[in-house]
Amino acid sequence: MKLRFTLNGRTIEAETSTSTRLVDFLRRELGLQSLHPSCYDGQCGNCAILLDGEMVYSCLLPGFAVQGRSITTYEGIIDTLDYNDIISGFHDEQAYPCTYCLPAKIVITQSILESTLDPGQQEVLEAFSGTYCPCTNFHNLARGVIRAGEYRRRRLHER
């Protein structure tokens, strides 16, 4: 099936089988190595992406679900100032996700900060409730996200 969609700001035209999961399409066919599917059941969160700005797990979607839509992955965030805000926030609060789950945690944080720059702790913990990797203390992570929001507010305010 032919697909046309936006991936990290670029228009992509590609072809895939209709039975292919989105995560496999993105990782195996388009080479996005930041996606680390491990459960294929929507439980671990390591394949999180932003679909039209909303956080979704790409293992639960068929590849054709991206037709005409816009996808942002870790690769699309890493070269932006948004990434700096998030990493600075994580660093300040000693939230250091492992390399396996870091991309997903960055994507989830980005989705939180796109909806509000002043998230509450409960809101952050709720957003991370669908992730599994126990590498990070979730309270540090929540504080890191809140701190990242502060960095971004400050940066946008200084403009």
Task: Point out which residues bind another protein (CB under 8 A).
Answer: 1, 17-21, 24, 37, 40-42, 45, 48, 51, 54-57, 59-62, 64-65, 67-68, 126-127, 129-130
Say how many Å lie between the first and final Cα of the chain, rounded: 44
- C-alpha dihedral sign at 117, 151, 132, 30: positive
Distance CA 91, CA 6 (A): 31
Closest separation between CB of residue 158 and another protein, Å?
Answer: 30
Residue 39 or 81 having the CB closest to another protein: 39
**Residue number, 19 or 121, with CB nearest to another protein:** 19
Helix (H) or strand (E) holding 33: none
Q: Is 92 left (phi over 0), alpha (psi -120 to 50) or beta?
A: alpha
In this complex, which beta carbon is closest to another protein, that of residue 22 or of residue 102?
22
**To the nearest whole angstrom, how small is the minimum distance from the Cβ of residue 11 to another protein?**
17
Please state the closest distance from residue 159 (CB atom) to another protein, in A.
Answer: 28
Nearest CB to another protein, comparing residues 129 and 159? 129
C-beta atoms surrounding 135 within 10 Å = 14
Q: Which is nearer to another protein, 51 or 81 (CB)?
A: 51
Element housing 153 (H / E) = helix 138-158
DSSP for residue 62: B
**Gap between the Cα atoms of 104 and 49, Å rounded:** 7
Q: How far is the CB of 5 from another protein (least distance, A)?
A: 12
154: number of Cβ within 10 Å: 11
Q: Min. distance of Cβ 12 from another protein in angstroms?
A: 17
